[in-house]
Amino acid sequence: MPVARPETSETRVIAHVDMDCFYVQVEQRKQPELRGLPTAVVQYNEWQGGGLIAVSYEARKCGVKRSMRGDEAKFACPEIQLVQVPVARGKADLNLYRSAGSEVVSILAQSGKCERASIDEVYLDLTDAAERMLADAPPESLESMDEEVLKSHILGMSREDGDDCKESVRDWMCRRDADHGDKLLSCGIIIVAELRKQVLKETEFTCSAGIAHNKMLAKLASGMNKPAQQTGVPYSAVQELLSSLPIKKMKQLGGKLGTSLQNDLGVDTVGDLLQFSETKLQEHYGINTGTWLWNIARGISGEEVQGRLLPKSHGSGKTFPGPRALKSLSTVQHWLNQLSEELSERLSSDLEQNKRIASTLTLHASAFRSRDSDSHKKFPSKSCPLRYGAIKIQEDAFNLFQAALREYIGPFGINPQGNKKETWRITGLSVSASKIVDIPSGTSSITRYFQSQSTAPSHSADGCVQEHVAMTPSASEGCSEQRSTETEVAMPEEDTSVTCTLPNFENSYKDIDLVSEKDVVSCPSNEATDIPTQSESNKGTQAKRIGQKINNLKEKNRGIPSIVDIFKNYSATASSKQETQEDSTVSSTSKRVNFSISSHNSEVNQEVEERRETDWGYKLDEIDQSVLDELPVEIQREVRSFMRPNKRFNVGKSKGDGSASSIAHYFQPLKR
DNA sequence: ACGGATTATACC
DNA sequence: TGGTATAAT
C-alpha cells in the first residue's frame, strides 16, 4: 500500500502539527466553564452512554480512553463532563469541528506549503522559511529566545529534565558548529513555536508539533510530547529513535501490514527491519511496499507536503449497528435522504466559499444477510455523475443504492415465490462527493447557476420543471413520464417522488420484483428506529406503482453528462488553485508570524502552483457540443468564450509537457 | 454485528 | 475508470 518515494537531495524542514484532543477543545471554547475539567466528547448514542471520540488530558489521567463508552468513562472518572456531538438530521454533525479545523489551517498556511492531513492535523514544509531565517537572522544572532522555543524537546539531547534543559535547548540551537541540517531544524523549531503561539492566540486552541526532515519523522515526533509541546528530530537522533520503535507505531504499519511484518518476518521494531535486504522485502511485499519499508527503516521518506488546504471529497454517512440495521427500502431511502441533504449542504458551502464543484457521487453501504448462507458478501459501491441540488442527490443516491442492492442480492433475485422475507440488512450508509475541481473565480454566472441548483428545495421539488438545465434528453423523458403519477402523490415535504420508483439500471424490469411489496410500502413496527416517511395514502399509491416500468435512470446517470462534467475537463489547477492556497476557506485576517516567514510566502505559493499544474490532466477540447447545448444560453456563451481560444493552446513556452499548461490564461476575466 | 464518521491512497 | 482494500484519526 505505501509507496516508496526517494528522499530529495535537499534537506527539508517539515512540521506536523496536531491539535490536542481537538473536539474537546472546540467544546471547551464554546463552554469555557469546562476548561480544566476532565471532559470527553461523546457521539450521540443512547447505547451505553455513547461512544467517546475525544478525551481531555485531565480525563486521560483518570484512565479514560478513547473507544470507551460514556458509561465506562463515568465509571472510571465520575466527575467527567460528557459533551454530546451536535446532531442534525438524525446523525452526528461535525461541521462545528470542520470549521474550527479550517481556522487553524488558515493560520498555519501562512508559513509555507501546507497540507491539511485531517480535520485536526497539518503538515508544513518550512524549508524556505527556515532557510531564509538562517540567512537573515540565525538563532545564535537572537538576543532573546522565546519561552515556547526553549520548552521544545529535542531528541537525542542529553537529559532533558530539571531546569537547565532550557539552557541546553538554547545551547543546542545556537551552537556554531552545527551542521546545516541542524541549523535549519533549529529555525524550524523557532518558526513552529511562533506558529503555535499564534494559533493559541487566535483560536484558543493548543496543539503539539513535531519538526523533522521529513513527514514521517515529523509525525512521529508530534505525538511524543503532548499536549501543547513540540519535539524536534535531528538527523543524529533518527537511528536510535527508530531502533526501538515498535513497528506498529509507524504510520501505515498499524494494520495488517505491520502484523504481517511481526508474524511473517519477526520484525518487532523498525530497527529490526534493517536486517532485511531491499530485495528480500520486495519479495515479500512487492516492489513498491518493499522499497518503502527498506527506506523507512532508515528514516528515509521523500513524501512531499501537498499544498492542499481543502479536502478532496465530502462524505456523509451513518451506521446502523446490530438491531438497528435497516430492513426496508423506505427506511433506507429515508436515511439516504438525510445523508444526501447534508452532503448537498456541504457542497453548496464548498461552492460558495471555495468555488469548487464536485463531479462524482458515490454510494457506499454495508450489509449482511441473516437467513442466507453467504451472509457475508460485500455490498458494492456505486457512483454516477453528480448533479447539484439536494433532491437530485437524493434521487441519484437512492437509485445507486437500488442498483447496488440488485447486484448484492444476486442475479437470481430472491424468493421467486415471494414468500420469503428479504434477507438483507443494511448496517451502514454513506454518500460522498468526489472529483472536486476549482471553477474560475471570474465566472460568476456559473457560480450562480449552481447555487440555484442547490437551493430552494420546494421550488425544485416539483421535479421536471426544474430549470433549463443539465438534464439529458432521456432523463427528461423519464421525468415527464413520471409526472402524471407524481403530481397526485405530491407531498408537502420530502420523499414525494422518488419513493417507489424502481428505475431499472439493467433495463430488465423483472428486477423490480426483487424487493417484495411489503418492504417497499411499509415500515415494520418492530423496527424501532425506522422513521415513517410516507403517509398511508402514499403507500397505496406506491404499491400500485410497483412493477410499473418507469424512467430509465441508467440513461439519466450514465448518458450525457451534466454540467459538472464540463469542468472535469478543465485543468483544475493553475490560477484558482493558487487562490485556494491563499484565501481558501477562511478569512486571512491573521498577521504573519515574522518577516522571514512572510517574505517567502509568495515564492512558496508559486512553487505550489507550478507543481499542481500537472496534478490533474483534463483536456478542455474534449467537451461535446451536445453537452454545451444543454446549458442555459448564458452559460453556453460564457463557457464557449473560454473554450474557443483553447483549441490551440499547446504552443506556449511554458515548461513541462505543456499539455495543460497555461489554461489558466483562458480563464481570465474575458469580458465581452 | 458496536468505535463512528470521515478522509485518503494504492491497486487492479 | 470505477470499485475495492487498507489505514488513520
A256 CB and strand C closer than 7 A: yes
DSSP state of A246: B
Q: Of A349, A343, A307, A306, which is closest to residue A99 (Cα–Cα)?
A: A349
Cα separation, A20 vs A42, in Å, equals 16
Q: Is A121 a catalytic residue?
A: yes
3-state SS assignment for residue A271: helix
Cα separation, A196 vs A587, in Å, equals 18
Instruction: Count the neighbouring beta carbons within 10 Å of the beta carbon of residue A180.
Output: 10
Which one of A293, A309, A325 terminates a domain?
A: A309
| Structural domain includes residue A438 | yes
A313 CB and strand C closer than 7 A: no
Q: What is the pLDDT of residue A158?
A: 73
A1 CB and strand C closer than 7 A: yes
- What value does the mean pLDDT take over residues A132-136? 97
Residues A2 and A140 placed together within one structural domain of the fold: yes
- SS3 for A25-87 is HHHHHHCHHHCCCCEEEEECCCHHHCEEEEECHHHHHCCCCCCCEHHHHHHHCCCCEEEECCE
Instruction: Count the neighbouring beta carbons within 10 Å of the beta carbon of residue A126.
Output: 33
Residues A216 and A319 placed together within one structural domain of the fold: no
A672 CB and strand C closer than 7 A: no
Q: CA(A212)–C1'(C5) in Å?
A: 31
Q: CA(A505)–C1'(C2) in Å?
A: 16
Cα separation, A232 vs A222, in Å, equals 9
Cα separation, A154 vs A214, in Å, equals 16
CATH number for position A445: 3.30.1490.100
Residues A509 and A485 placed together within one structural domain of the fold: yes
| Structural domain includes residue A97 | yes
| Structural domain includes residue A407 | yes
Instruction: Count the neighbouring beta carbons within 10 Å of the beta carbon of residue A162.
Output: 9
Q: Closest residue to B5 by CA to C1' distance?
A: A317
Cα separation, A550 vs A323, in Å, equals 33
Cell of A565: 462534467
Strand partners, A438: A356
Instruction: Count the neighbouring beta carbons within 10 Å of the beta carbon of residue A418.
Output: 10
User: Is the confidence at residue A475, as pLDDT, over 80?
Assistant: no
Task: Convert the pLDDT of each residue in A506-535 to its tens digit.
Answer: 333 233 223 333 333 233 333 433 443 333
Instruction: Count the neighbouring beta carbons within 10 Å of the beta carbon of residue A225.
Output: 17
Helix (H) or strand (E) holding A223: none
Q: Which nucleotides of B are covered by protein (CB under 7 A)?
A: 1-12
**What is the rounded average pLDDT for all residues in chain A?**
73
Q: CA(A64)–C1'(B2) in Å?
A: 18
Kindly report which listed range (A21-25, A81-85, A392-396, A566-570) carries the lowest average pLDDT score: A566-570
Cα separation, A499 vs A539, in Å, equals 9
Query: The dihedral of CA A137, A141, A143, A145: what is its sign?
Result: positive
Residues A536 and A592 placed together within one structural domain of the fold: no
Residues A118 and A246 placed together within one structural domain of the fold: yes
Give phi and psi for A83, each to the nearest 5.
-110, 135
Closest C1' nucleotide to A5's CA: B10
User: Is the confidence at residue A637, as pLDDT, over 80?
Assistant: no
A88 CB and strand C closer than 7 A: no
Which one of A309, A324, A352 terminates a domain?
A: A309
User: Is the confidence at residue A583, as pLDDT, over 70?
Assistant: no
CATH number for position A66: 3.40.1170.60
Q: What is the pLDDT of residue A7?
A: 76
CATH number for position A221: 3.30.70.270
Q: CA(A47)–C1'(B2) in Å?
A: 9
User: Is the confidence at residue A178, as pLDDT, over 80?
Assistant: yes
Q: CA(A616)–C1'(C1) in Å?
A: 15
Q: Closest residue to C1 by CA to C1' distance?
A: A383
Q: What is the pLDDT of residue A608?
A: 30
A382 CB and strand C closer than 7 A: yes
Give phi and psi for A101, each to the nearest 5.
-60, -40
Cα separation, A297 vs A247, in Å, equals 10
Kindly report which listed range (A97-106, A340-349, A429-438, A520-529) carries the lowest average pLDDT score: A520-529
- What value does the mean pLDDT take over residues A575-586? 35
Residue type present at position A165: C
Residues A402 and A547 placed together within one structural domain of the fold: yes
The answer to whether A383 and A358 are in contact (CB under 8 A) is: no
A3 CB and strand C closer than 7 A: no
Closest C1' nucleotide to A292's CA: B10
- What value does the mean pLDDT take over residues A303-318? 96
Q: CA(A492)–C1'(C9) in Å?
A: 41
Q: CA(A328)–C1'(C1) in Å?
A: 31
- What value does the mean pLDDT take over residues A269-275? 96
A271 CB and strand C closer than 7 A: no
| Structural domain includes residue A567 | no
Task: Convert the pLDDT of each residue in A324-381 to its tens digit.
Answer: 999 999 999 999 999 999 999 999 999 999 999 999 999 999 999 877 656 668 899 9
Torsion angle of the four alpha carbons A195, A197, A202, A206, in this order, in degrees rounded to the nearest 10: 100
Residues A384 and A509 placed together within one structural domain of the fold: yes
The answer to whether A166 and A151 are in contact (CB under 8 A) is: yes
Q: Residue A4 — pLDDT band, cuts 50, 70, 90?
A: confident
Q: What is the pLDDT of residue A422?
A: 62
Q: What is the number of structural domains in chain A? A: 4
Q: Which nucleotides of C are covered by protein (CB under 7 A)?
A: 1-9
3-state SS assignment for residue A16: strand
| Structural domain includes residue A148 | yes
Closest C1' nucleotide to A48's CA: B2
Q: What is the pLDDT of residue A454?
A: 58
Q: What is the pLDDT of residue A138?
A: 97
User: Is the confidence at residue A6, as pLDDT, over 90?
Assistant: no
Residues A608 and A553 placed together within one structural domain of the fold: no
Residues A251 and A287 placed together within one structural domain of the fold: yes
> β-strands A356-369, A230-232: how paired?
unpaired
Kindly report which listed range (A246-260, A394-408, A412-426) carries the lowest average pLDDT score: A412-426
Q: Of A309, A313, A311, A317, which is closest to residue A342 (Cα–Cα)?
A: A317
User: Is the confidence at residue A46, as pLDDT, over 80?
Assistant: yes
User: Is the confidence at residue A544, as pLDDT, over 60?
Assistant: no
| Domain span including residue A75 | 22-91
Q: Closest residue to C7 by CA to C1' distance?
A: A252
Strand partners, A207: A19
A277 CB and strand C closer than 7 A: no
Residues A103 and A248 placed together within one structural domain of the fold: yes
Q: Closest residue to B10 by CA to C1' distance?
A: A1
Q: Closest residue to C9 by CA to C1' distance?
A: A118
Q: Of A578, A570, A614, which is closest to residue A359 (Cα–Cα)?
A: A570
Cα separation, A39 vs A80, in Å, equals 5
Q: Closest residue to B7 by CA to C1' distance?
A: A118
| Structural domain includes residue A566 | no
Residues A30 and A171 placed together within one structural domain of the fold: no
> β-strands A314-319, A424-438: how paired?
antiparallel
> Could you tell me which residue, A206 or A445, shows the higher pLDDT?
A206
Closest C1' nucleotide to A618's CA: C1
Catalytic, out of A103, A121, A148, A555: A121
DSSP state of A655: S
Give phi and psi for A125, each to the nearest 5.
-105, 105
| Structural domain includes residue A13 | yes
Q: What is the pLDDT of residue A5?
A: 76
Q: Of A227, A136, A249, which is closest to residue A183 (Cα–Cα)?
A: A136
Q: CA(A378)–C1'(B5) in Å?
A: 20
Q: CA(A382)–C1'(C2) in Å?
A: 8
User: Is the confidence at residue A567, as pLDDT, over 70?
Assistant: no
Q: Residue A45 — pLDDT band, cuts 50, 70, 90?
A: confident
Q: What is the pLDDT of residue A177?
A: 95
User: Is the confidence at residue A664, as pLDDT, over 80?
Assistant: no
Cα separation, A52 vs A65, in Å, equals 8
Q: Closest residue to C5 by CA to C1' distance?
A: A1
| Structural domain includes residue A563 | no
A362 CB and strand C closer than 7 A: yes
Which one of A56, A91, A126 terminates a domain?
A: A91
Residues A539 and A576 placed together within one structural domain of the fold: no
> Could you tell me which residue, A41 or A2, shows the higher pLDDT?
A41
Q: At what angle do helices A95-108 and A180-203 cross, to 10 degrees?
A: 130
- SS3 for A547-609 is CCCCCCHHHHHHCCCCHHHHHHCCCCCHHHHHHHHHCCCCCCCCCCCCHHHHCCHHHHHHHHH
